[in-house]
Structure 1
């Protein structure tokens, strides 16, 4: 054996002994399932680039298996199992970077890797690759069913910290007993171990009705306008079942659908859009509207439905004594937090001037004039902003009615005054008339004094006769006949 061959043999033997006895771990890498893993192997001690041989191996059941290697001649050797997923970028060699790249990471790729570089000096580094993966059980779920979210790490470490995020917002939910459309989206699991951070994301699809995403949503519409009732299904729609029905908001009883309601045709079902619209909303069209359809999931058919409440809005007007009151009336105002009245004046070239005049539910116009004729708009707001608006046209008829009310009020006041003065005059007349009669009676008595004396003497004689009869009756015991006999 030549001297050069002996030296190479001793070097390889020394490397093998050193590799078998290596126990230290230089670095850990945590990457998401399906992504690209970069296993670092950088020779910081080599300032001048030198032709090197690079050996990447993986320890499986305490056995070293070659993953990728490159001889000093430039000849590369790849693993038979995954020849296209593993590579080491040659342009990085001049910088002393011999990192291994693995694309399309799978669960079985996790484990301990060893990098040996035979160049001007001998270098060896060990890297632990861990795979983090988000999984759902079941992978596709229907609304209202149970869902388990899992964060799987392979090989499993002693996790110090694990965090969940749903669509970028932190959440502490891992088990969902009743899943809804609000649980759809990107679920991200973030893990930290030995000051190394890794994360993985998976998309969750919830079968059912995607729009609107939840029950009991409010749809606002002004009386006389048109309104859309949205109902869009997710994938899996196979059949419709009473796609639209209407119930009362106060009692559990069905109501007929509005005559101007139109339903979208779901032919073919691949469109999945079962929305409806009311061409002209009328007073009394409010209520709970429900759309429904049959969904198929793993050969099982289940009913998916969504309910929404239609709230109608209109302006009520009343006038009294020339004052007009406009009231913003809603069939359900539980979600309304504030109101705003706007005066809209149209000018030339379709220009308009909008002025805010009140923030109350009721807006009063103290004295209606021709300048008030035109458009008045009531806006109503909720916690999330503007809910809707309703328009009222103050026309000449309403203006005339207010003026008539004002005139009737004035004429009514005049009639009251006339009636009061007439009654007072009548009472004074009766008093004066009675005083006049008394005066005339006294005057007539003074004109005939002899007649007054005769009347007085006749009354006195009659009184004397009555007293005499009373005494006789008392003396005879009440029998006047015996005395006379």
Structure 2
């Protein structure tokens, strides 16, 4: 028979169920209420399983304590929904039919709400007994206000409906454990439900409440954002750059009131407690007033010098408040040194203006073939490297990379061709070219001599052919001389 669907608005509320009993059809055994956690707005699955039976199909009824039927299916296949379990005419609950033959009658509730929390029962009608009872707890994290101004008080609360008394509550902030300051409160469970703090860049991000009760765990999350500057994310963020390159100094406000009166300053290094502005670098480029993004007040340095390292401050007014953000520029460069005793040996030193976060250095050699294809080879650890500039294998680029544990913070490049010029090293390619030129010159000279001899012989013949009688006399005299010489030899 084809299945039909309609709302079950005429069904009366079920009687109140015993909250601590669970009777299986096949065994008649008792069990406790099953605990299920679900985050508000997610999908909750309420388990209801029993041993498969040959009496399939069965009639199944899902009910909620004191609220009547949630969903039921008759043996004929007709389905009915409670009047409060539809949203825009679409049911929020369903029971997948393909699992019925395996004895799985679990109920799925989509877009769960706080009022959905409570005790549910699953009943097999032909046995007329409750086969499973489930307590659904809805977790919700609320942040007030969700977008705070720096320095404003913020409240982050964890609500569970119904609340599991005796549960363990923990907070994580951006996937790291967060411990609320509640030393003066004896009931730590109550204290951990709400976190009150001051809005700073350190507490912005994803807050997650993790609730553990009777071996079951549930969690919910919410995001706290700040009005004002959201890039860099926090004060004193370090920016790494190589000397001679360009670098961007970010200063991006969160969407909202358009920031006005922007000011960029470089703070003097000696002013630790009361920062004093100093002169900006010569290559400093202020934010463009014609930028398409009115919240982006980022500046840049077109060509960083080693002495440009230090702290920079960006400030602007958004709404009625003045926002500032400090950042630190760290500059790296490679210095070379050599001694007269080591004519073709050069020592490279990787210098960084702030090494407090650096845990490791690595030297990498980059060479290029005739097709300008680079090949990278790691050579040595440490911030110094000594190479022989007379070796062809050391030509190309040398890159110093510096790391914080496994994360690379930055790198700086040195060109080995510059070292060859400074040390006066002669390249092998000009010598080879000179030998080729000398060889070609000798060959050309020999060819010229042969051509000159051939030309002389040709001219001589031309002169003789102009006097045929003289040629006859010369040949006759020559023949007679040869005849006399033969006769003398015979005697």
Higher share in helix? 1
* 41-50 or 209-218, larger mean C-alpha shift: 41-50
Structure showing greater radius of gyration is 1
Distance 1:400 1:176, change over 3 A: farther
Distance 1:86 1:344 in 2: 62
Q: How many residues align?
A: 377
Contact 1:373–1:399 under 8 Å retained in 2: no
Aligned residue among 260, 264, 283 for 1:244? 264
Other structure's SS at 1:210 match: strand
Q: Deviations over 1:178-211 (max 9, x none)?
A: 4444544433322222333322233333444333
Contact 2:228–2:253 under 8 Å retained in 1: yes
Please state if 1:80 is matched with 2:83.
yes
Distance 1:46 1:229, change over 3 A: same
Distance 1:40 1:154 in 2: 19
Counterpart of 1:349 in structure 2 is 371
Please state if 1:398 is matched with 2:422.
yes
Other structure's SS at 1:68 match: strand
Please state if 1:256 is matched with 2:252.
no
Distance 2:374 2:136 in 1: 67
Distance 2:16 2:385 in 1: 89
Mapping for residues 372-391 of structure 1, pairs under 5 Å:
377=398, 379=400, 381-384=402-405, 385-391=408-414
Distance 1:293 1:150 in 2: 32
Q: What are the ranges of 5 or more consecutive residues in structure 1 without an aligned counterpart?
A: 1-11, 402-485
Q: What are the ranges of 5 or more consecutive residues in structure 2 without an aligned counterpart?
A: 1-10, 23-33, 181-191, 426-491
Contact 1:314–1:328 under 8 Å retained in 2: yes
Contact 2:259–2:317 under 8 Å retained in 1: yes
Other structure's SS at 1:47 match: coil
Mapping for residues 176-255 of structure 1, pairs under 5 Å:
177-181=197-201, 183-251=203-271, 252-255=275-278
Distance 1:66 1:46 in 2: 24
Counterpart of 1:24 in structure 2 is 20
Please state if 1:57 is matched with 2:76.
no
Aligned residue among 257, 267, 285 for 2:308? 285
Distance 1:372 1:105, change over 3 A: closer
Other structure's SS at 2:423 match: helix
Other structure's SS at 2:42 match: coil
Distance 1:21 1:334 in 2: 65
Question: Displacement, 1:216?
Answer: 1.8
Mapping for residues 455-474 of structure 1, pairs under 5 Å:
none
Distance 1:349 1:258 in 2: 39
Distance 2:333 2:35 in 1: 67
Counterpart of 1:137 in structure 2 is 144
Distance 1:150 1:68, change over 3 A: same
Contact 1:220–1:312 under 8 Å retained in 2: yes
Distance 1:69 1:139 in 2: 41
Distance 1:129 1:158 in 2: 14
Distance 2:50 2:374 in 1: 74
Distance 1:392 1:308, change over 3 A: farther
Distance 1:375 1:40 in 2: 67
Counterpart of 2:157 in structure 1 is 150
Aligned residue among 332, 341, 364 for 1:313? 332
Counterpart of 1:163 in structure 2 is 170
Q: Superposition RMSD on alpha carbons, in Å?
A: 3.9
Other structure's SS at 1:108 match: helix
Distance 1:269 1:148, change over 3 A: farther
Aligned residue among 293, 296, 300 for 1:273? 296
Contact 2:39–2:140 under 8 Å retained in 1: yes
Distance 2:394 2:70 in 1: 86
Question: Displacement, 1:33?
Answer: 1.1
Distance 1:291 1:48, change over 3 A: same
Distance 1:57 1:353 in 2: 69
Distance 2:377 2:102 in 1: 70
